[in-house]
Structure 1
Amino acid sequence: MQIAKYSNYTLPDFLEDDDFLLFVISPSQNDTVFWQQVAAEYPQQTEIIAEASKIIKAYRKQDVFTNEANQSKVWLRIESSLQKDQVKPKIFSLNKYLRVAAMLLLVSSIGISLWLIKGRQNEIDTAFGELRTVTLPDGSTVVLNGNSKLTYSDNWDKNSREVWINGEGLFNVTHINKDPAHIKPSERFIVHCPDMDIEVLGTTFNVRSRHNKTNVGLVQGKIRLDYVDAVTGKQSLIMKPGDYVQHTYKKALTRITLPAPEKITKWTKHQLLFNDASLAQISEIMTDDYGYQVDFSSPDLANFKIEGEINVPNVEELIETISTTLPVKITRTDKNITITKLNP
């Protein structure tokens, strides 16, 4: 698949694209990584991608079709909904979607027994700048940062406790295992990221997984990471409280010790915390979590660094801190920010 071809895709284009359809229906790890790259490369397509996914998922929630008439009714409802929203990049033809219906029906028929075993899938998405606390079926909680997604099933009584995350979340996991030497499948808790899996028993840890990079900080407890190293292949790492690791997909993992690991949870109180951060690192948080578009008038500006700690409650104060600390000028229009050098 070529990323560039999706730069100008319309909603109907996505609904007709087999690769996108399969990603929404049954995403693999490689699919997830690829579509994260598409969203990162073409942020203007994010809303259209989300809408196309919503339509396909809504279609999957319908009962298994027993005849063509039922198929037609569903697609007529979809078309009617699209027309009400005034999404008219081109005329929809029901026949174009019959192959989509057939594919969805095939997947549903093959996977219906697995669906019954795994239970209903829950998907929680947060908007830019939004924080949301999610209580999982076992009582564990996850605080989701802005522009993040958490997926899990309801049926955890017979299966592993598994969640999938894209974005950032602070996990507080309920400890239900009484015998560490004999862990039942339903007692395992696994967090799936695009580039690694995290297994825990009971603990508090922070996960940030974006742009094929995953950062994990352990506040308390014990967790194990399973990941792929570029040289040695599959690897595992046991983390202890205070450990902080950074991993880029199929590249080396780095590990440091945090003197105050509880600080990595500051974002859950709407605090923006940075230590010796470059403008590139700061702008990444503003873009990923709050939906800003940050442009530098020259590439070297991205390397400008603010020494020491920044701890502010909002983006406005962060911008003020940058302006008063560095020799730069910041121009802001809504969520578009341009940073230029001040003349000497």
Structure 2
Amino acid sequence: MKREILISKWLNNDLNDQELEAFKMLEDYDDLVKLDTSIQAFKASDYDTSKELDNVLSTITPTAIGGSKKQTMQWFKPLMRVAAILAVCFSLYYYTTTLDTTITTEFAQKTTIELPDASSVSLNAKSLLTFNKKDWKHNREVELNGEGFFKVAKGSSFKVKTNTGTITVYGTQFNVKHWDHYFEVICYEGLVGVTYNSQETKLKPGNSFLIIDGKIIAKEKENRSSPSWLNNESTFKSLPYKTVIAEFERQYGVHITLMNIDSEQLFTGSFAHDNIDVALKSITLPLRVTYSKTNNTITLKRE
């Protein structure tokens, strides 16, 4: 059944069980339910439209409109109904065409999204991606909070916006990581432009742009063809230990407490995403740190 028919029958509370299941499978089902809830919030209670319309018409003289009151009622009421239907349809169209699509991942979760132009984005754990599907032909732009690996289809300009900087590309592969006090872009293919503080830095394959705590950090050339997290492994090279801990918490959904440990000390190493005990040893043994686990809380301690 066509989308428009399902929506029309839903608005009239006329869906059977089979049609209701088909309606729930619509791509914008959640948006339509939210819209309906919002409209209900504006609905006036105990308001008789017909009665109020009669009251208004009773104050209009027949000569004022060039005919009798009966004639007025014959054309005016249907006209009002048509106007009301058009107003609701316009509101529904405007709401659904301007609504953004948002994808999120939880702790220890990854997902891959295909964008309207066949570009794809792989999201790491605890990340959020927002874009407007209806306006995509005119504005290929996404907003990211977290970490994502982009494979951009060739075509018009493609932009990734974060609270720290904007990335502009023309058919390429790159990784963006944006967390509190941490912003990193790595180009794996093509050419990437990173705009930060109104200045653009262009990255070629293997080049990186890294900012930690507001400071630009120089990095060696990246030799991998894709980020390690796509293969369920987080890799670090001379990065603050707090960065390692934050990533560990996102991948395993735990809370880590540090005791007698300098969170700013630099760490080089990696940990896997599929075995927490092996991963803990990977981030503690190099620093001669011990750990203990209590439910979802892990304590790292240096004697």
The TM-score bracket by the shorter chain reads 0.5 to 0.7
* C-alpha contact 2:121 2:149 (8 A) present in aligned 1: yes
* C-alpha contact 1:220 1:240 (8 A) present in aligned 2: yes
Which amino acid in structure 1 is aligned with residue 259 of structure 2?
A: S
Question: Aligned pairs, how many?
Answer: 230
Q: For structure 1, which runs of at least 5 residues remain unmatched after alignment?
A: 1-54, 71-108, 177-186, 229-233
Q: Which residue of 1 aligns with 2:248?
A: 286
Deviation of residue 287 (structure 1)?
2.6
Q: Which residue of 2 aligns with 1:242?
A: 206
Matched ranges for 1:1-344 at <5 A: 59=34, 62=37, 64=39, 67-69=43-45, 119-156=98-135, 158-176=137-155, 187-228=156-197, 234-247=198-211, 251-262=214-225, 265-298=227-260, 300-303=261-264, 306=267, 308-310=268-270, 312-314=272-274, 315-342=276-303
Q: Which residue of 1 aligns with 2:10?
A: none
Which amino acid in structure 2 is aligned with residue 297 of structure 1?
A: M
Which amino acid in structure 2 is aligned with residue 67 of structure 1?
A: K
Q: Which residue of 2 aligns with 1:179?
A: none
Deviation of residue 235 (structure 1)?
1.1
In 2, the alpha carbon distance for the partners of 1:324 and 1:253 equals 29
RMSD: 3.3
In 2, the alpha carbon distance for the partners of 1:194 and 1:222 equals 21
Q: TM-score, normalised by structure 1?
A: 0.58
Deviation of residue 61 (structure 1)?
6.2
* C-alpha contact 1:243 1:255 (8 A) present in aligned 2: no
Residues 63, 310 of structure 1: alpha-carbon distance in 2 compared, 3 angstrom cutoff = closer
Residues 193, 332 of structure 1: alpha-carbon distance in 2 compared, 3 angstrom cutoff = same
Which amino acid in structure 2 is aligned with residue 224 of structure 1?
A: G
Residues 152, 321 of structure 1: alpha-carbon distance in 2 compared, 3 angstrom cutoff = same
In 2, the alpha carbon distance for the partners of 1:240 and 1:305 equals 26
Q: Which residue of 2 aligns with 1:76?
A: none
Q: For structure 2, which runs of at least 5 residues remain unmatched after alignment?
A: 1-29, 47-87
Normalized per residue, which structure has more helix?
A: 1
In 1, the alpha carbon distance for the partners of 2:280 and 2:36 equals 44
In 2, the alpha carbon distance for the partners of 1:287 and 1:277 equals 16
- Indicate the larger mover: 308-317 or 60-69: 60-69
Which amino acid in structure 2 is aligned with residue 282 of structure 1?
A: V
Q: Stretches of 4+ moved more than 6 A in 1? A: 55-58
Aligned residue for 1:302, secondary structure, equals coil
Q: Which of the pair has more CA radius of gyration?
A: 2
Q: TM-score, normalised by structure 2?
A: 0.65
Residues 236, 61 of structure 1: alpha-carbon distance in 2 compared, 3 angstrom cutoff = farther
Aligned residue for 2:126, secondary structure, equals coil
Q: Encode CA deviations 1:263-294: one digit per residue, 9 max, x unaligned.
A: 5x110121122234553221121234443211
* C-alpha contact 2:210 2:216 (8 A) present in aligned 1: yes
Aligned residue for 2:125, secondary structure, equals coil
In 1, the alpha carbon distance for the partners of 2:201 and 2:133 equals 29
Report % sequence identity: 22
Which amino acid in structure 2 is aligned with residue 310 of structure 1?
A: S
Q: Encode CA deviations 1:52-103: one digit per residue, 9 max, x unaligned.
A: xxx9997556465663249xxxxxxxxxxxxxxxxxxxxxxxxxxxxxxxxx
Which amino acid in structure 2 is aligned with residue 168 of structure 1?
A: E
Deviation of residue 129 (structure 1)?
0.7
Which amino acid in structure 2 is aligned with residue 253 of structure 1?
A: I
In 1, the alpha carbon distance for the partners of 2:254 and 2:300 equals 13
Which protein has greater RCO, CA pairs closer than 8 Å, 6+ apart?
1
Deviation of residue 115 (structure 1)?
5.1
Residues 161, 272 of structure 1: alpha-carbon distance in 2 compared, 3 angstrom cutoff = same
